Structure 1
């Protein structure tokens, strides 16, 4: 629960109605005195659930209440320092940073905006030529990292993830195999690519764990574009969308309420409340967020938050493929995959220059 001092409600009470329906009452800013006296919160579930015991609100001693944040813990609702969660500015920073380039027959444009956060928490990679060595000189690599609770892990991912992929044992084996078959990606080399991406993500997250990354985390979505294939690795709720004349493909978000994600979370001793892990984190897979990865009995991919990506492999179709969008959830919160594809396509018809298209985002 996050509340702005300026113009948002600062508290609410909830009552149970028949058939599990809930009724809530909101305290507006002018009733701040009344809301400040709240000492507990009761949570109700479906009709089959028992009413939970009231959860105590544990206050934090601070004179700064411009942003008030509570975390659900076993002790109750604990007010935490907004800085650890990624505090907000009074006004959003709307200046955009744009990066453009081309290579290997691909034109790309990237745009980012800080928005309400006190610092830029997101980062990206755009390498039209993935590396100067074979086979990577004919490949391209693009990635977006959507940070939360700070910028540390997102910045580190943008500077180091690609190296972790290329130096994995599987990528080395794949490179050797491609040298022997004139660079043709076969089922076996594609499998090495898939495994290498997963292990590269895991090794990056493990090595970063030993350094001072604070409590920040980030989602990650990356795309390797070869002359014949598009290989996508996705971690969290950023998304890659590949638009074609006849279809639109999009990666699947990792949300705690999804069945396979919920099962892992509950097996690790956690819970899903208000569609979040332990009522706090809104994504179920991410880099960083090490406070959710501290069970020594469990491997990395079975922790509350997993750093293992889903990998998608698609064969390129020159007759059908139009463009690809790699973006964080700020885009997908307001557009479906199909709406985004139509939005970009309509503007590409008018503007051949990607810099003009970016202005509409």
Structure 2
């Protein structure tokens, strides 16, 4: 903060006022703010012109070398809500849960998280839904975690399961991603640079592991410790649903939240557990999907269009390739196609 902001401007009686470096910096900042506001307004106008995209989801799950499938997933292209804000025509929900220590936490989250979200979803005519939706997501994660911990502690012996969670909520053309742990969500977008079209991979989630400075500091402040990159030398993630024995050590269920406006330049969204990203980088996974989509010739299931068959094949092949490359963990992939052409036809 400038310490002189509250001082009155000196009265000028002689020479005209001179532009100072401070004035120039303020003008430059104002120009940048104006440009950012114009870009945001243009983005909103662009989305309004493009309408609401058609979303289709595909899922592939592989047990890998594990004895039990501890992943869970949910696909709700048209989420059933008691009521919608007047300005909203559709809400979609997709989620991947990667369990550890058992499958009970991931299955519980898959069953209850979207129900808790539906109970809290803002209703009525709301022009600005961003803040209410963010609060709704935070509350739904907190409630799901509390409910599971209550159930887990009532068992004999108490359940020690935990789960990551990566949730994609699409409200018309706005995507919200809430995540805990190390599963990921990415967006494939095409961009034009110097007259050439190229593909960009946008990360929509943040990884939570105890080696990250902020996560480690929170764990240590709570009285926990990080050894060998794990909480108390055991737990690989620093945020999760469940894991009751680690909650007192700074492991929390508060997700990171990201928002992204979908446009006609977007091709697909990819959600996957860490089993995929142990053998693929994010860029490699997106390029793998694009390659399968471009190859064509995928075998169609009954009633599937050619485009749907390609996306389904890309999803299945990405999961199978992760196992082939040596991932011994469970693998779950959700691929969500984005089509503005279908929505406008």
* 1:162-311 pair list within 5 angstroms: 162-168=114-120, 171=121, 174-178=122-126, 181=127, 186=128, 189-212=129-152, 214-246=159-191, 247-250=200-203, 251-293=205-247, 295=248, 303-311=249-257
Aligned to 2:29: none
After superposition, the C-alpha distances for 1:133-160 in whole angstroms (9 at most, x for unaligned) are 4437611110000001100010011111
CA contact (8 A) 2:97 2:106 kept: yes
After superposition, the C-alpha distances for 1:325-350 in whole angstroms (9 at most, x for unaligned) are 01100111122221111111111122
- Mapped to 2, the partners of 1:248 and 1:355 lie a distance apart of 20
Q: CA deviation at 1:117?
A: 2.0
After superposition, the C-alpha distances for 1:76-120 in whole angstroms (9 at most, x for unaligned) are xxxxxxxxxxxxxxxxxxxxxxxxxxx972121101111222211
- Mapped to 2, the partners of 1:162 and 1:314 lie a distance apart of 20
Aligned to 1:70: none
After superposition, the C-alpha distances for 1:294-353 in whole angstroms (9 at most, x for unaligned) are x4xxxxxxx5211110010111111x2110001100111122221111111111122331
Larger strand fraction of residues? 1
**Relative to structure 2, which stretch is displaced further, 194-203 or 130-139?**
130-139
5+ unaligned residues in a row in structure 1: which ranges? 1-102, 296-302
Aligned to 2:101: 149
After superposition, the C-alpha distances for 1:242-262 in whole angstroms (9 at most, x for unaligned) are 110132111110010101100
Q: Select the structure with the greater relative contact order (CA < 8 A; seq sep ≥ 6).
A: 2
CA contact (8 A) 2:113 2:144 kept: yes
Correspondent of 1:357 among 297, 314, 319: 314
- Mapped to 2, the partners of 1:307 and 1:272 lie a distance apart of 18
CA contact (8 A) 2:59 2:316 kept: no
CA contact (8 A) 2:53 2:173 kept: no
- Mapped to 2, the partners of 1:288 and 1:219 lie a distance apart of 9
Change (3 A) 1:137 1:159: farther
CA contact (8 A) 1:131 1:137 kept: no
Q: Which runs of 4+ in 1 moved over 6 A?
A: none
TM-score calculated relative to the size of structure 1: 0.63
- Mapped to 1, the partners of 2:61 and 2:211 lie a distance apart of 29
> SS where residue 176 of structure 1 aligns?
coil
> Given the alignment of the two structures, is residue 110 of structure 1 paired with residue 110 of structure 2, yes or no?
no
Change (3 A) 1:132 1:192: closer
CA contact (8 A) 1:202 1:308 kept: yes
* 1:47-86 pair list within 5 angstroms: none
- Mapped to 2, the partners of 1:137 and 1:151 lie a distance apart of 35
Change (3 A) 1:321 1:206: same
- Mapped to 1, the partners of 2:168 and 2:316 lie a distance apart of 23
CA RMSD of aligned residues (A): 1.8
Q: CA deviation at 1:292?
A: 0.6
CA contact (8 A) 1:104 1:139 kept: no
CA contact (8 A) 2:101 2:162 kept: yes
> SS where residue 61 of structure 2 aligns?
strand
Aligned to 1:343: 288
